[in-house]
Amino acid sequence: MSDKVLIVDDDPAVYKLLEKVMHSNDLETTVADSGLAALNLLKNHSYDIILMDVMLGDMEGFEVIKRIRGQGDQTPVMIVSGRNEDYDSLYGLSLGADDYITKPFRPLVLGAKVKALIRRNKNQILDSSELIECGPFSYNTSTMRFYKNGEEIVLSSKESSLMLLFIKRPNQVFTKDMIYEHVWGNSIAIDDNAIMVYINRLRSKIEKDRQKPAHIVTVRGLGYRFIP
């Protein structure tokens, strides 16, 4: 599976060039042409590196980095900027960026930097990872990534919380009260429909047939059980 790159840049000429460089290095790309678009993508998708422009139409790239790190997202960030002031690079690094390269850049240098940063980050994750394995499923609590038979399944934050609850305690029956308290942090005013929506979303991602679930099964009158 190819490593994934999120390109955050609002200049088509630049992001098309960045895509070309990434593709030549066997990397998958997704483009966000604004800071808000990038933040929305990061809510439901994971990437191996983010290439961040500083000057965006809706907010500075520095603000995007602040928000990413404020949410606990440790995805490597490389600033790709047309501004060549030392202040920008130092400020970006102080906010949590991992590297900085200025435009115009040399494609070979950029490609090498990106691959090195991805490799370094993966080695750090392997050193500190906590992997929960259960049947064909595994969950890395350091990266919050979930896999079935070695293939990553992208989960939203609440889907991730729900799946972690299940995979930590296979075969246990969870009432809706227990699920609501764990995922939403509050056992008052439980919304059964909300729980059912997320159960169905998980089933659509991990079951062969969502209508005949083999892993997340309903225990009539009680709640749900995860069978790995």
- State the DSSP code for 8: E
What is the structure's pLDDT at 187? 41
- Going along the chain from its start, the domains and CATH numbers come out as 4-128 (3.40.50.2300), 131-226 (1.10.10.10)
What is the structure's pLDDT at 34? 95
Q: Comparing C-alpha atoms, which of 149, 128, 140, 191 is closest to residue 167?
A: 140
* pLDDT above 90 (res 99): no
Lowest-pLDDT choice from 46-60, 106-120, 143-157, 173-187:
173-187
pTM as predicted: 0.57
Question: How many CB atoms are located within 10 Å of the residue 70 CB?
Answer: 10
Higher-pLDDT residue of 214, 93: 214
